[in-house]
A and B are shown apart, each in its own frame.
Chain A
Amino acid sequence: MACVTESGKISEQTKKLLLLLRDTISPADVLAETLDAPFFKIRASLRQMKEAGFIHETEQGYTITNKGLEVLHLQDA
């Protein structure tokens, strides 16, 4: 469940979360419900994405960073 695979690409789960967080600030439970994924898996992904600098946490929830937007752009390129 690492947010970046060995080939340097972001994982599918990371991509889904970044796409959601590009458009809105969301807490972990809302993201889990939106993606119909277990809460613990979303928390683990968010933790790793935060450590990688792709997202940051605010009082309202998680939001994408410039680095997150960059990797999302590179993924689509």
Chain B
Amino acid sequence: MSEQFVASNVNPMPRIGEKAPNFEAVTTHGTLRLSDYAGSWLILFSHPADFTPVCTTEFIAFQEIYPELKKLGVELLGVSVDSLYSHIAWTRNIEEKMGVRIEFPIVADLDMNVAKKFGMIMPEEHSTEAVRAVFIIDDKQIIRAIIYYPLSAGRNMSEVLRLIQALKTSDAHRVATPANWHPGDAVIVPTPTTVEEAEARMMEQDIEVIDWYLSKKKI
């Protein structure tokens, strides 16, 4: 693999807070554009290759959380550099051998257009396969979170679901979520930004004030 070839596959990764780069791609559900998802949240995730063991377990796991995601108004869209026919054959195989019907679309990204736009190719890991990336894109098509895993480690769906729930809770209540937060746990109240607000915060009775900069409440 020449250095020139590798360099042509490396794109800057879109950052959290940026508008997700639009694309049009052939998928197992027809030709789709990222903009078709405007108005819904989307988990855009890449996998290295069809018919590989870790990816198969991940696809089954993504399908398992898909009903819960749909209830939260979140769609799933998979991406890999395999062909459409490979995707169809693989998902049929998963249904036949493992009894799981994959209901979400998968992009056939043979020209790596999507993988390059989202910085999913990491040449030091593999020059032609995408790593395990997860982009959480909100209803305004803004990238809200990014998770990257290497080829060897399958992703944790509980964490993907928890992250979506945390982001939506933060948006709905203008709060932050502490470490290991789960729905139902106390959330973090925005930190005061002036001395007066900090003093007032210490007097508040209806929230759990640990100190002026760390206060929690139930929602």
Which residues of A does B touch, CB under 8 Å? 1-2, 29, 38-41, 43-44, 47-48
Per-residue CB contact flags for chain B residues 72-107 toward chain A (1 = under 8 Å, else 0) read: 000100000000000000000000000000000000
Return 30 A-B CB contacts under 8 Å, by A number: A1-B29, A1-B30, A1-B31, A1-B32, A2-B30, A2-B31, A29-B39, A38-B75, A39-B37, A39-B39, A39-B40, A40-B32, A40-B37, A40-B40, A40-B75, A41-B29, A41-B30, A41-B36, A43-B36, A43-B37, A43-B38, A43-B39, A44-B30, A44-B31, A44-B32, A44-B33, A44-B36, A47-B33, A47-B36, A48-B31
Cβ-defined contact, A40 with B36, below 8 A: yes
Q: A40 — which chain B residues lie within 8 A by C-beta?
A: 32, 36-37, 40, 75
A8 shortest CB reach to chain B, Å: 17
User: How far apart are the CA atoms of A47 and B40 in the complex, in Å?
Assistant: 16
Q: B30 — which chain A residues lie within 8 A by C-beta?
A: 1-2, 41, 44
User: How far apart are the CA atoms of A1 and B25 in the complex, in Å?
Assistant: 12
**Most chain B beta-carbon contacts within 10 A, residue among A39, A40, A41, A43:** A40
User: How far apart are the CA atoms of A47 and B75 in the complex, in Å?
Assistant: 19
By beta carbon, the residue of chain A nearest B73 is A39
Number of B residues near A (Cβ < 8 Å) is: 11
Within 8 A of A (CB), among B18-51: 29-33, 36-40
User: How far apart are the CA atoms of A47 and B36 in the complex, in Å?
Assistant: 8
Q: A43 — which chain B residues lie within 8 A by C-beta?
A: 36-39
- Interface on chain A toward B: helix, strand, loop, or mixed SS? helix
Q: B38 — which chain A residues lie within 8 A by C-beta?
A: 43
Q: B40 — which chain A residues lie within 8 A by C-beta?
A: 39-40
B174 shortest CB reach to chain A, Å: 26
Per-residue CB contact flags for chain B residues 5-20 toward chain A (1 = under 8 Å, else 0) read: 0000000000000000
Q: A48 — which chain B residues lie within 8 A by C-beta?
A: 31
By beta carbon, the residue of chain A nearest B40 is A39
A44 shortest CB reach to chain B, Å: 4
User: How far apart are the CA atoms of A39 and B75 in the complex, in Å?
Assistant: 9
Q: A38 — which chain B residues lie within 8 A by C-beta?
A: 75
User: How far apart are the CA atoms of A29 and B31 in the complex, in Å?
Assistant: 19
A41 shortest CB reach to chain B, Å: 7
- 5 smallest beta-carbon distances between A and B, as pairs: A1-B30, A43-B36, A44-B36, A40-B36, A40-B37
Q: A2 — which chain B residues lie within 8 A by C-beta?
A: 30-31
Q: A1 — which chain B residues lie within 8 A by C-beta?
A: 29-32
By beta carbon, the residue of chain B nearest A1 is B30
